[in-house]
Chains A and B, each alone.
Chain A
Amino acid sequence: MSASGQSYWLTEPCRIRREDNSIRIERADRTPVRIPITDIRDLVVFDNADINTAAVSLLSRHRITVHLLDHYGNYAGALTPAEDMSSAHVVRAQVTLTADPVARLAVARALVGATAANVAWALDTDLLAGPLERLPAQVRACADAEELMGIEGNFRRTAWGVLDTLLPPWLRLGGRSRRPPSNAGNAFISYLNAITYARVLTAIRCTPLHPAIGFLHADSDRRRNTLALDLAEPFKPLLAERLLRRAAAQRTLTAADFVSDVRSASLSTAGRKKVSIMVREELATTVHHRQLKRKVSYEELIHLEALKLVRLCLEGTPYKPFRPWW
């Protein structure tokens, strides 16, 4: 996922049309925006959008995914290219690896360990040092992915508690709740998690991996892209928790940016726009990569993470999940 093309974030209701070999975005009361098709890597749609067959076939031919987020920030679905990059050889290796309990658990353990470390890093606190120290022993004792998920859940609950102490009262989570999120803080986290998932899914689709064959999450209960859920884990703290703390500290978001009901909350249109700007800037942030010897953006980090799994499948290189090194 190098320099070719960029993600376009559509934060307003719009119509996506085809005009020759360009995409034309029409918004109410505005002149249309024309985007050359070669400049698009993917589209993230935050609000209602209309699209027709001509546009879909052009997008599909250029391997562009359209991610759709619903009003509550849940991942509503995607328009994906008719033929994807999956390669039989790599997918076969992926299936063999995930079918082998030992190999699968090794990757799942690494993911849980790295995610916990990243949460502690994102919250920038010593309060999690204790649970983090106990974690390796607990992770080693796990016999299957389900137990691992349980341990991760416990750690996460502790971390949510610690996060609450760092937030102003109106943004506190008071326990994580989803579908729908119960308060402003939960709405924010859900929204960011959906965006992270969409970014990871795009990254995986740029590799020959199959997004539905994963290591950590259970693959039997619902149809979903398990691998994208797995790979999103280590990146969620980098985006969701850190941005929530920043939004609180810098007062970017106010209570007015959320539409709150008795038992549910969601971002308002203005709030969604603010959040999408924050995320875009965050994803474009670069850090120096020591092996590649160049700057890479957070977005590219997600792509490099997917490539690590390709290396695992093709060459058996052990998988070391992402941990911030800066």
Chain B
Amino acid sequence: MKPHPDAAANPPPDPDDVDDDGIGGVHIKYLLHCPRQLWLYSHGYRPEARNEAVAFGEVVDDTTYRRHHDIDLGAAKIDWVTRGAVVHETKSSRQPSPQHEAQVRHYCLLLARRGVNVRGGVVHYPLIRRTTRVAWDDTARRAAETAEAQARQVSAAATPPPRLPRASCRGCSYRDYCWGDS
């Protein structure tokens, strides 16, 4: 029998599979964007569901590279991995950014820890039809480990880091929270 469409989209969570204190790709991206955003995210405030930019990113992800399937590592969800263990990540941005590379490096680190012999990563920007290669070597590994340690430190802090200068908050889904006191 064909599974019901809801079953595929919303699988029941497997209690053994959940790794809550794990640092995922989003944590790393937020750390580099704004530590405060990371703190709020890891403390349960997640307004992205209502954000248009995030919804747009999901649509871009859904409508590009449709032959590939994502790989769920619990805390992180890798867009797809090709032969020889190259990690791929799709971004709806039109502007390549170090945050995206750091996210891919983090995925490489997670795979390497699981014993996969990772060769490197690629960030795809379908909207500008460009890709960026991300190297995976000792320097990259150290960078990934430092970022992960920093992310843990920020999430474990008792109080959130201060707001960034306002101009950096453009387009952030946490802006209403951070700047909305009247």
Contacts and interface: CB of A to CB of B under 8 A. Distances in A.
Contacts of A206: 47, 50
A292 B47 contact: no
B80 to A, nearest CB: 24
Given A3-B52, A291-B181, A207 B45 contact: yes
B6 A38 contact: no
B10 interface: yes
Interface string A270-312: 0000000000000000000111100000001001100110110
B120 interface: no
B51 interface: yes
Contact of A292 (B40, B43, B52, B180): B180
Chain B contact patch, size range: 20 to 34
B173 interface: yes
A292 B175 CA distance: 8
Interface stretch (A85-93, A146-154, A222-230): A85-93
A57 interface: yes
A325 B177 CA distance: 19
Interface string A158-181: 000000000000000000000000
A308 B181 CA distance: 7
Contacts of B173: 2
B46 interface: yes
A290 B52 CA distance: 23
Nearest to B6: A57
Contact of B181 (A4, A300, A303, A311): A311
B49 interface: yes
23 contacts: A2-B52, A4-B51, A4-B52, A41-B50, A85-B49, A86-B44, A87-B44, A88-B44, A90-B43, A90-B44, A90-B45, A206-B50, A207-B45, A208-B45, A290-B182, A291-B179, A291-B180, A292-B175, A303-B176, A304-B176, A307-B176, A315-B159, A320-B182
The 9 closest A-B pairs by CB, nearest first: A87-B44, A304-B180, A89-B44, A208-B44, A89-B43, A90-B44, A307-B177, A3-B52, A4-B50
Interface of B: 6, 9-10, 40, 43-47, 49-52, 55, 159-160, 173, 175-177, 179-182
